[in-house]
Each structure stands twice: as C-alpha cells, then as structure tokens.
Amino acid sequence: MERLTPDPKQLLTKMIAQINQTKSLSYTFKKRERVQHGFSTAEQDIKLVTQPMKAYIYVHQPNKGTVAVWAENENNGEVKVSPGWLPFVTINLSPESDEFRKKNHHSIQKVGFEFLADIVNNSLQKHDSKLKDILHYGGQYVVNNRLCYKVTIDFKEYKYSSYTIKPNENLF
C-alpha cells in the first residue's frame, strides 16, 4: 500500500493554527545570530503568556543573571530590566531601544512564535499560485521524542537588494 505524501501547505497551515491557539509557553532559547560585526550568541530561559502578552526572560549568556520582564499595556510599554551584575537595581527601557536590543534583531515583543506564523502565513497568501513549486515535503523526523515534519521553502526568486532607509522610516 502506497503512503500519501502530506501536503506541505496543509502542514504549514496546521502549524499556524496551533501557534495561534497557544496560550503560554516556556523554553530555553539558544541563538547564534549574524549581527553587524560578526555573530552574537545567547542563552536565555523564556516564559511567555500570549493574551495579554507577557514575557519573562532570564539570561544565562552573555550577561548571566539579567532578568527582563515585559507586559503588554503595563509600565508604559517599557521593559523592566534587572542587570545580573548590579543587584537591587531595576531599570525601565523601551523594548525597541538600542540599549535593550543590543546585538539583537528583534525585541522582547517577538519572543513567541506569532512572528514566525505571520511571516509564513503572509508568504502562503502572497505566493499561493506558486506554492507547488516553492514548498517541498522532506519527510518525518523524531526530535526530542516528538514526531516532526520537514517542509522546505525554496523560493528561487528571492534576492538581496540594496535599500537606503529614509528619514522617519523604520525597518520593523
């Protein structure tokens, strides 16, 4: 009996639906991210409640002991930060500020999976007529004792282009 290959669009649509139903999550986040002058590495424990959005971050690396707490519509939208190296001190920072986002592309407001879901969902809608050529099912894998599906997005039209940001423009 021949097994049917799962439809990659349906797998991604189901993933988006599951993300949208998530109420809370906690995980250890490890990153190696390309930044302006090389790579930035970090390890953080993250706890998130999605509605209303609240985030707690404990930093293991690079600034061990630092704690950041942010809640939507609280503290004037600012993040409360307790630096690990300076006990009994809490500072308030804008989640978009250079001081808070140092060596990071995304703010604390993007710590969940909604940002990923939005990107994938927008791509599915924008390129709906081309999905059969772009999406590829890559099989099933077990990761941390969980069955996972591999979907590859191969968008051959993707390219880098130069752009100069104009005054009052924002990348996000």
Whole-angstrom Cα distance, residue 60 to residue 57?
Answer: 10
Count of beta carbons in the 10 Å neighbourhood of residue 111: 22
Which pair of structure tokens corresponds to residue 169? Answer: 């423009």
Give residue 40's pLDDT: 81
- From first to last of the 172 residues of the chain, give the pLDDT tens digit: 556 789 999 999 999 999 999 999 999 999 888 777 788 888 999 999 999 999 999 999 988 999 999 999 999 999 999 988 777 889 999 888 877 777 666 778 888 899 899 999 999 999 999 999 999 999 999 999 999 999 998 888 888 889 898 998 877 6
Whole-model pTM? 0.74
CA distances from 158 to 19, 123, 153, 161, 162 (A): 26, 12, 11, 10, 13
pLDDT at 2: 59
In this prediction, residue 54 carries a pLDDT of: 96
**Domain positions in the chain:** 1-22+113-172, 24-105
* Burial category of 12 from C-beta neighbours within 10 Å (exposed 0-12, middle 13-18, buried 19 and up): buried
In this predicted structure, what is the pLDDT of residue 37?
Answer: 79
- Residue 79's pLDDT is 92
C-beta neighbour count of 26 within 10 angstroms: 10
